[in-house]
Chain A
């Protein structure tokens, strides 16, 4: 908690954990990203916000190493990205859980792929299952869980591999509104507790303002960063008070003003 307040008082971020430089991505004729440059400060949560089709998921997958940029480069802690790596973990919009594996195996799957012994990875998985509040569901299968619980499994899987960077692709878009609010509050405490860097893709303005240290607004055709907004006074507030804070309301309005012309 302390580190965040310090960095907020300074008004600028710490060293960038992830930096994307001059990223372009074309699919045949279609230009998904053009010359995009963006830095993600260490230990903070940065949202990529924009209308659908603005390439925010593409950017996230390039950073994850799942897609290769047509040109430009991504660095994580100063090391160039050539593919998926142990320093990044992905949380998927559609959860991407193995339907034939129980919660315990799903959460430990990242560790399993890293070749960790079963007893060791199960101990770690159990710890993170407790952390996300799914204790008692270790032997349940994904189809027995609600959408929100499935995403908790996806989150636990990403936390279990203990990466420095967490890439979250619209993680709450497939869960209902109440669950979503709870997730957002939990995410805030996660950012405060864990010394990790969060990259968060969303299309919800309110969500972005609520959870972010830094909001990058992406505009489509071709995608570029139009604006970076850094809420100043929201982090020190209690989670219940953020939505009533004048700065929260102002930023939401400001973002909507810049986005409204891009909505069909």
Chain B
């Protein structure tokens, strides 16, 4: 008892609880797999050993190469077009009127429903998958960028004008820097949506990469591999998004606090 209390003091409490929480969840998974709750529910350890064998024979890496290609291409396109459009919408009331409704509807609408149409138009290749990633990721990037630009603090803009800044100065030196934390979090949310789109397109359009492992192992009832593949893609997405969030915090942490005018 004493040693565990001492350990608790020594170790970071939140890290300990995170580990405890992971042990509980994975333990429950293991037990549920042993009961078993379902024919299609392997234990945690079985799934992990399937993951390890996929890693050792390298098949998971070739799969990720396929999966990440449309994701990366789509995200890069979405980031460039989305930020450019968002800046334009945020700065011009005419563009705001013209384009905002489209993206507001896109943000609320289940755009996944467009996939069958995209397949008809662009076939089952890379283009369709890139498109799916784009339509999922772009609305939030556009809306965050335009919102950040539109809501740039008016007191700072006023300050810029009173010190004789030109419109160009104000946009480059006040509006865009003050919007950049929101733009960045738009990119992070867009990436999250892009992951959803990339996997959706692999499951719906044609099974390639990770989607192929999932679909194929399900069809031959190799559920360990299926769970391993799903586990790995979720872990990858979560780790990557956490990394983005951490970058966001180091880049803009002080920035957000700085707005307090107390």
Does chain A touch chain B in the assembled complex, meaning CB atoms less than 8 Å apart?
Answer: yes
Residues in chain A within 8 A of chain B (CB atoms): 61, 64-66, 83-86, 88-90, 92, 94-100, 109-110, 112-114, 141-144, 147, 157, 161, 174
Q: Is the CB of A96 within 8 A of B155?
A: yes
Q: Is the CB of A94 within 8 A of B155?
A: yes
Candidate in B156, B166, B177, B261 with the most chain A CB atoms within 10 angstroms: B261
B159, B162, B164, B258: the one within 8 Å of A99 (CB): B258
Count of chain B residues near A, Cβ 8 A: 28
Q: Does B57 contact A (CB under 8 A)?
A: no
The CA-CA distance from A142 to B163 in the complex, in Å, is 19
Cβ–Cβ < 8 Å partners of B259 in chain A: 99
11 A-B pairs with C-beta separation under 8 A = A66-B158, A84-B164, A92-B159, A95-B261, A96-B155, A97-B258, A99-B259, A100-B255, A100-B258, A110-B163, A113-B160
A61, A83, A141: the one within 8 Å of B258 (CB): A141
A95, A114, A174: the one within 8 Å of B164 (CB): A114
The CA-CA distance from A249 to B117 in the complex, in Å, is 81
Q: Is the CB of A96 within 8 A of B156?
A: yes
Q: Is the CB of B159 within 8 A of A143?
A: no
Cβ–Cβ < 8 Å partners of A89 in chain B: 162-163
Main secondary structure of the interface of B (DSSP, over half): helix
Q: Is the CB of A142 within 8 A of B258?
A: yes
Q: Does B165 contact A (CB under 8 A)?
A: yes
Interface residues of B in 212-262 (CB under 8 A from A): 252, 254-262
Q: Is the CB of B163 within 8 A of A113?
A: yes
With contact pairs A84-B164, A147-B262 given, residues A92 and B254 touching in the complex (Cβ less than 8 Å): no
Q: Is the CB of A113 within 8 A of B177?
A: no
The CA-CA distance from A98 to B158 in the complex, in Å, is 12
Q: Does B161 contact A (CB under 8 A)?
A: yes
With contact pairs A99-B255, A110-B163 given, residues A143 and B260 touching in the complex (Cβ less than 8 Å): yes
Q: Is the CB of A92 within 8 A of B160?
A: no
With contact pairs A89-B163, A143-B257 given, residues A174 and B177 touching in the complex (Cβ less than 8 Å): no
Cβ–Cβ < 8 Å partners of B177 in chain A: 98, 100
B162, B178, B254, B258: the one within 8 Å of A84 (CB): B162
Q: Does B149 contact A (CB under 8 A)?
A: no
Closest B residue by C-beta to A157? B163
Cβ–Cβ < 8 Å partners of A161 in chain B: 163
With contact pairs A109-B163, A143-B260 given, residues A99 and B254 touching in the complex (Cβ less than 8 Å): yes
B161, B162, B166, B254: the one within 8 Å of A143 (CB): B254
The CA-CA distance from A64 to B153 in the complex, in Å, is 19
